[in-house]
A and B are shown apart, each in its own frame.
Chain A
Amino acid sequence: MWVSQLELVNFRSYEKLAIELSPQNIALVGHNGRGKTNLVEAIGFAATHSSHRVANSTALIRKGSDQSVIRLRTVNPDGSGAMLELEINEGRPNRVRVNRNQLPRLRDALGQLRCVVFAPEDLRLIKGDPSDRRRFTDDIMVQVAPRYAGVRAEYDKVVRQRNTLLRSGRADQSALDVWDEQLVRIGSELAWGRRNAWRRLDEHVTAMYDVISAESGSASALYRSVAQGAASLEEVASRMTEELARRRREELARGITLVGPHRDDVDFQLDGHPARSYASHGESWSLALAVKLASFRVLADLAGDPPVLILDDVFAELDEQRRQQLLESISDADQVIATAAVRSDIPEGFASRWITIDRADERSAVTYDDGQGV
């Protein structure tokens, strides 16, 4: 799948931008701070409704405005496609339109655009909090099966309801039993979905790390959850039920839900050591990139049609051999968008379209070059 047109209105540094993209590899070049990451962030946001840089979407709205619009056209290999339009509002819910039709819920548009973004901020996947890893997992799961967006939202609500009950002083046996049942019903489904996602991702993480890392170590990923080792959804549910019974007193004492997928994490390991405390900066960066590329592989295999792949500031960090190995491993992509501050950081022969971003008068001036670059 690829994006053929992108329009931004009051998004980050862009007051107005309209660019044409092609179904091949695109190099996005511009000096630091010109808005390369802003641009790819917009595409990523249109796909997942979340940004890799900020938790709250209002940060994406251009300073001095109260609304941004991301409008883009997706194209599938069979020629079909859609016009996707996201409205990011300050103080009001965001809205989405597909082919000009407003959808009742934002999440109804998930799956319209499948996209994997790797950016330097993804180092958080390795070094950051468990919540960063859960968010990544959920993004993949939702792109594979959009109905999980609903499961996730519902699960967040169960945990909030149950925590309130635990703290309310009204949490008697029968009241808690009711919420345990909801927690298990929805939580087991979420944990099982994540477990399945990591079953697919794990081997690709190892393979991709071999491709891009200059070091010899071997990487792996282990999903830690109530679902770990369980053979079926039912088993996850019965484990949760047991665990809830075992920890009920502790939960009542602390006033929070201690059992369930909101406490999951992923252990990344390098040569059997926990990467979070063991890996060097360079190794962590390679591992984070490997994880993102693994998700690209999984999404490509599942849909039979690779997602858009965005590589923000990647090639500058790799030597010529790794660049070529990386390019080989993603050669089936319909569209790769790579950013760099200078042209020489883009591998030779990579781009079929060069887009240079130059900011003048607070407006972004964009120039195209479909030659092989100069």
Chain B
Amino acid sequence: MYDPVIGELVEELGRFPGVGPKSAQRIAYWVLDADAEEIEQLAKVLVEVKRRVKFCKVCGNVADDDLCRICRDENRDPTMICVVEESKDVIAIERTREFAGRYHVLGGAISPIDGIGPDDLRIHELLPRLADGQVREVIIATDPNLEGEATATYLTRLLADFDLEVTRPASGLPVGGDLEYADEVTLGRAMAARRSSAGKAGVE
């Protein structure tokens, strides 16, 4: 095989999502070929991002301060919370301009295979936000795949005891997919035509 240092690099790169052993090797050799300056710049950005970016204390979205841009914005409707898996899903829904409420980022989805149970998600942080009675509707916009569905099932059951409307984006999202990859029109329509999560009639 290769030099231990390169081996280590390949191993580290292989931990990136979507990067398999072959791609990791390709990237490693690209790093070896690249100018030293270029690599230093990349390393600097990585460290900087990690140091500067924080997560919003309220909703878990990426933030540059204690609160994210959306939680700071007083024009956002405080009666609606849209629950998503990742910060990138916030960006996807924002692009549709169909939603003016606030968000809650879980930080993933329930997946026993990956060792992720409900307690590993930011569900504990969600409940206090619902306590003061201001929130009227929770929209569960987890990914339309198995783990996303399981997470939605868990939340729907958990929120059944609250005096709230619990809805889900209408179907039409490609099944088995990732929310962030749905195109704006499809996702926008799905948000607009969301339906009650308990299988009741739509909210519109």
Contact = CB atoms under 8 A, between A and B. Distances in A.
Contacts of B149: 182, 185
A181 B146 CA distance: 11
Given A161-B111, A164-B112, A168-B112, A175 B146 contact: no
A182 B150 CA distance: 7
B150 A154 contact: no
A157 interface: yes
Interface residues of B, number: 18
A181 B112 contact: no
A304 interface: no
A160 interface: yes
A80 to B, nearest CB: 27
Contacts of A165: 112
A179 interface: yes
25 contacts: A91-B22, A150-B175, A153-B176, A154-B176, A158-B146, A160-B113, A161-B111, A161-B146, A162-B112, A164-B113, A165-B112, A170-B112, A170-B117, A174-B118, A174-B157, A174-B158, A175-B110, A175-B117, A177-B157, A178-B153, A178-B154, A179-B112, A182-B146, A182-B150, A186-B146
B142 to A, nearest CB: 12
B54 to A, nearest CB: 30
Contacts of A170: 112, 117
B113 to A, nearest CB: 5
Given A165-B112, A179-B112, 14 more contacts: A92-B22, A150-B176, A153-B176, A157-B146, A161-B111, A161-B112, A161-B113, A161-B146, A164-B112, A168-B115, A170-B112, A174-B158, A178-B150, A186-B146
Interface string B26-69: 00000000000000000000000000000000000000000000
Contacts of B176: 150, 153-154
Interface string B107-121: 000111101011000
Contacts of B112: 161-162, 164-165, 168, 170, 179
Nearest to A91: B22
Contacts of B117: 170, 175
Main secondary structure of the interface of B (DSSP, over half): helix
Interface string B166-177: 000000000110
Interface of A: 91-92, 150, 153-154, 157-158, 160-162, 164-165, 168, 170, 174-175, 177-179, 181-182, 185-186
Contacts of A174: 118, 154, 157-158
Contacts of B118: 174-175
A174 B111 CA distance: 14
A37 to B, nearest CB: 32
Contacts of B113: 160-161, 164
Given A92-B22, A150-B176, A178 B146 contact: no
Nearest to A158: B146
B150 A161 contact: yes
A178 B111 CA distance: 11
Nearest to B21: A91
Contacts of B157: 174, 177-178
Contacts of A150: 175-176
A372 B157 CA distance: 71
A158 B149 CA distance: 11
Nearest to A93: B20
Nearest to B115: A168
Contacts of B175: 150
Contacts of A186: 146
Contacts of B115: 168
A154 B150 CA distance: 12
A162 B118 CA distance: 14
Nearest to A157: B146
A181 B153 contact: yes
Interface in B142-167: 146-147, 149-150, 153-154, 157-158
Nearest to B145: A154
A177 B153 CA distance: 9
A8 B176 CA distance: 32
| Residue with the highest number of chain A CB atoms closer than 10 Å, among B117, B157, B176 | B117
Contacts of A157: 146
A162 B113 CA distance: 9
A186 B153 CA distance: 14
